Amino acid sequence: MYAVQKSQESYPWWRGNARFIDLSNTFIVAHVAQAALIMLWAGVFTLFELSVYSADAPLYDQGLILLPHLATQGWGIGSGGSIENTFPLMAIGVIHIVAAGVLAGGAYFHRSRIAPSLAAESGRSGKFDFDWGDPKQLGLILGHHLAILGLGALLLVIKAMAFGGLYDSNIGAVRLVTDPTLDFGTILSYRTHLFDVNNLEDLVGGHVYVAVLLLLGGAWHILVPPFNWVRRTFLFSGDGI
């Protein structure tokens, strides 16, 4: 048997997710709206950094946050590692702002057109209702999150290997990573020096392993309910979430 559902009053005020007990759709609204705000910040701040960016000084001297990360992915980078084309960076900022509007619209739709609890909905919507003490449903939701994270890691691999490549600081240029490191021993050795990756082959190879593990883990949690020993060991409640 899984844990008995608790009421909101069972949790202290700072455990915010517990406020959505019996309000599974409102839980979605809060998280989609939060994602919209994050996406909006990323888009607006990218455009702001572009407006103050100077080609006459290194990025690290200009107090920039987002543009250096985009530069490592090779967007708009020319010879010598300098930004030669700002259009891709502007497009990325605009895409994030548009995505923020889509997410905000989704939050508004859920808030205005769907009942606060998905238990009151019929069809596919009702399948995503959950309570804090149901390990099977929480495992299903976890599985979908892991799968999406796996796709994100896979996108970086595809970008590095086929669509433009990544910036290689060792040569000061953007290049395709055509031979990622797939040797398990090499990747495993990074457990003792996680932040000491000095070549793109190991970096991309590590993301290959991460993508595979996340996708397999996502499929596992979607298809296989938590075992009894997991239910006994882990906390399935508003605290656990």
Q: Which amino acid, one-letter code, is at 109?
A: F
- Residues facing residue 166 across a β-bridge: 175
The shares of helix, strand and coil residues in the chain, as percent rounded to the nearest 5, are 60, 5, 35
Counting Cβ atoms within 10 Å, is residue 108 exposed (0-12), middle (13-18) or buried (19+)? middle
| Residue spans per domain, the chain | 22-130, 131-241
- Tell me what pLDDT residue 80 has: 78
- Residues facing residue 53 across a β-bridge: none
pLDDT (average), residues 198-217:
96
pLDDT (average), residues 181-188:
94
* Token pair in block for residue 3: 């844990």
pLDDT digits 0-9 by tens, 158-174: 999 999 999 998 998 99
Answer whether 88's CB lies under 8 Å from 163's CB.
no
Mean residue pLDDT of the chain comes to 89
Counting Cβ atoms within 10 Å, is residue 88 exposed (0-12), middle (13-18) or buried (19+)? middle
- Residues facing residue 83 across a β-bridge: 77
Whole-model pTM? 0.83
Residue with the two structure tokens 């949690």: 221
Element (H, E) at 36: helix 24-52
For residues 192 and 194, give the distance between their C-alpha atoms in angstroms, rounded to a whole number: 6
For residues 238 and 232, give the distance between their C-alpha atoms in angstroms, rounded to a whole number: 16
- Tell me what pLDDT residue 4 has: 45
| DSSP label of 77 | B
